[in-house]
Amino acid sequence: MSLPTADPYLPGHGDPGWSARHYELELDYDLAGNRLDGTATITAVALVDSARVVLDLAWLAVKKVTLDGRTPKWAHREHRLILTPKQRLRAGQQFTIVVRYAGKPRPLIDRHHGDAGWEELTDGVIVAGQPHGAPTWYPCNDRVDDKASYDIAVTAATNYTVVANGTLVRRTRRGSGETWHYRQTEPMPPYLATVQIGRYDLVDVTGEAPVPVTAAIPAGALADYRRSFGRQGEMIAYFSEVFGPYPLPAYTVVVTDDDLEIPLESQSLSTFGRNFLTGRWEQVRLVAHELAHQWFGNAVTMRRLQDIWLHEGFACYAEWLWSQAAGGDSADAQARRHHAKLARQRRDLVLADPGPELMFDDRVYKRGALTLHALRLTVGDRSFFTLLRTWVERHRGGSATTADFEELTAQVCGERSALFDAWLREKTLPELPPA
């Protein structure tokens, strides 16, 4: 019997037959031995009549499973946990799965997307879930369009700080350990869930931001932190004007003591390596980029992985907007510079469907941003920024497609923009409209 795939860009992940409504994760982690013991309670609903439920769980051993309090027939193979209840599930039926599991978590490797998931640092842990790493630390329905609320409680040694998605609701000492309980009430897909563990100081860096902002940073790193993040409060305030109100109760930035190749996006927080604290534009632009994902990617999430430009193109354009707002190069100057660079590169990418091997290609980011700039130059600033704010407001907490964005553009701007075919569905690079 073949196992389901929810998205062709990520074979072997996700079950379109059911949807999670809430994840309650109770985790106990031993840093010295890289040992994770977990209990996941998943509240769910069947979307179709089905004789089975398939979850994603990699590397970790399943100890016990129940479905609505009963033990179903189950098997765990090829990173899939297959449950066969005694009675078929009916469409619309609500049910609860409890999975107890344990083992040594490690990243999951995909031939197109590299490794992702639970990863040990020199002294701590990061979880980089995008796009396939969620199953390395908890059983889930690993679909980009399956958004649920979360309670994440992690017990670690008392001299470590744990950061996860959402709001910290309590800290509890348990002998030599301490439990950190976070709650994310806003819907979130599995790949955006994260846990960060390290020897961090928690510092209030709200500044001019309209919501609380916390930095989890190594001891003694605050001065360096301010070099790249010193204007983050202004940045949040500015994006709240042009994109609409910040969509979550708070924002957290984690800075690991290790260097990281790239920052990590998660809902309500972002993770950077200490090597990003230089204050250079190449680092500051990524501060803007990861922050913008809280609107474009987290509040509004792509329904299909092929629509990744709705995340990365928008976040890249936010970099250019911040450059101008902060007194640097204008968004138009940034756009024309990157257009000239793209014009010298190969033309084998279709933005609206780049394929799994190219979905994280830098050209998706830059061409996506250029599409937005071309749209802005075509419809004018008033219509363009009304469109962005309406996009977030209408789809906040849900998922959307490129077709949804085109339809909304027609509604807000009065007509369907002809530029979408050229920018989204052709390999040839169009010219930018005049400034």
Walk along the chain (435 residues) and give the pLDDT tens digit of each residue.
689 999 999 999 999 999 999 999 999 999 999 999 999 999 999 999 999 999 999 999 999 999 999 999 999 998 999 999 999 999 999 999 999 999 999 999 988 888 999 999 999 999 999 999 999 999 999 999 999 999 999 999 999 999 999 999 999 998 889 999 999 999 999 999 999 999 999 999 999 999 999 999 999 999 999 999 999 999 999 999 999 999 999 999 999 999 999 999 999 999 999 999 999 999 999 999 999 999 999 999 999 999 999 999 999 999 999 999 999 999 999 999 999 999 999 999 999 999 999 999 999 999 999 999 999 999 999 999 999 999 999 999 999 999 999 999 999 998 667 899 999 999 999 999 998
| Inter-residue contact 153 to 174 (CB < 8 Å) | no
1-103+133-190 under CATH 2.60.40.1730, yes or no: yes
Which amino acid would we find at residue 316? C
**What topology does CATH give the domain 300-425?**
Neutral Protease; domain 2 (1.10.390)
Domain formed by 199-294, architecture:
Orthogonal Bundle (1.10)
pLDDT recorded at residue 113: 85
Q: Where are the alpha helices (DSSP H) in 116-173?
A: none
Pairwise CA distance, residues 32 & 160, whole Å: 12
DSSP codes joined into one string, 184-210:
EEEEE-GGG--EEEESEEEEE--TT-S
pLDDT recorded at residue 153: 98
Identical fold, 1-103+133-190 and 199-294:
no
Which residue in the block uniquely carries the two structure tokens 């073949």?
2
Per DSSP (E only), the strands in 250-357 are 251-256, 264-266, 269-273, 300-302
H or E segment at 327?
none
Enter the tokens of residue 224.
């360096």
pLDDT recorded at residue 415: 67
Distance of CA 428 to the CA centre of its chain: 30
User: Residue ranges per domain, the chain?
Assistant: 1-103+133-190, 199-294, 300-425
pLDDT recorded at residue 315: 98
| Inter-residue contact 81 to 65 (CB < 8 Å) | yes
| Inter-residue contact 23 to 42 (CB < 8 Å) | yes
pLDDT recorded at residue 331: 98
**Which residues, listed in sequence order, are joined to residue 74 by a DSSP beta bridge?**
83
Residues with Cβ within 8 Å of residue 219, at least 6 apart in sequence: 199, 201
pLDDT recorded at residue 414: 81
